[in-house]
Structure 1
Amino acid sequence: MALRYRDEMRASHGAGPWDRVMVLVADAAVQEPPVLPFHRIQTSGPFEPVGTRVRDLGEILETVSDERLVYGSMSLEDGIPVHRVAELSGTPPAVSALHEQVLRSADEKLRYTPDAVEADDAVRAREAVAAYFLPPTDATRIRDVIDRGERLPQKSTFFWPKPRTGLVMRPLDLDGPTA
């Protein structure tokens, strides 16, 4: 959207403030922002339940671990919600291992949400065949992936907190502010 706006303004008015973008830059090594997960909702296709059954979503969220590569899943088995946790192999972050080992061919069948309850509800409502629950990670692990020359799967990071909207504003008209 911003690039389209820039191109339209350039075409009719030439160079201007639309050629720049306002950004917030934070040093992740100093700030250590939490990197929350985007949980996966598998809308169709096969799902093979693996791992140890646990009581409920709460137990999944207490058990998932980026360090140990433990993720959770939920599906309906004979119409009954079943929650599981399973361990992957490899190196953190867990989201990369999950996509390499479990979701290799399911990318086009996935939806993403930062809300674990929403993912759980999608399966209960039969809008999805399974939900996958991931642990939070940290900026250091994200940097490690980049340093290895690898890429993270789509929707791997949900940095928090988000800057407030409207914190900084600038006029977008050519004539400046009106009196």
Structure 2
Amino acid sequence: MRNRERVMLGGASALVIALGAVLLWPAREAPAPSGGDVPQAVPAPVTAAPVSPERAVPARTPDPAPPHATVVPPAPGDVPPEPEVANAPPQQNDPIEQERPQTARWKLEKTQHITTLLGRDVSRLEGERQEAKARGDKARVEQVDALLQRHRVRLEELREEARTLADAARREPPEEP
């Protein structure tokens, strides 16, 4: 077994053990009230101040959040979402736009766009190659040279494909709106 496999196996084992320990860990119980040894403090009854009917606002109690949730108080102007209705009709989706045919003109446009982007990438890589050469970073110069070679081959293939598509697009009938 290689070291990487051993580390992965050890990590997986540790994860399984940790999950098992969490699942089997006993729940924390509330302390039982003591007999009569320690006197308990009794809270004083709270009386509410009378509120005039004009100022009375129905108090909305928020849903209790789980203990691990982050509760953010609502900001002024926030509107809570409406509750879902069980037998409500399904919401209507926007109509799906009909897909346009992939004609030679369409393919030519896409090919020209990709050619433009690849040309920009070649220009950027040439600048990066010059910078690496000026720094004396031979390894990076070799990497960029390999990328440039691949990009230039692909760029030439795209230009040839664009020429072929331009001929096909000229022979196509005009598009109907």
TM-score bracket for this pair, using the shorter chain length: under 0.3
Q: Kindly indicate which of the two structures has a greater share of residues assigned to helix.
A: 2
Q: Kindly indicate which of the two structures has a greater share of residues assigned to strand.
A: 1
TM-score, structure 1 as length reference:
0.18
TM-score, structure 2 as length reference:
0.18
Larger RCO: 1 or 2 (CA < 8 Å, sep 6+): 1
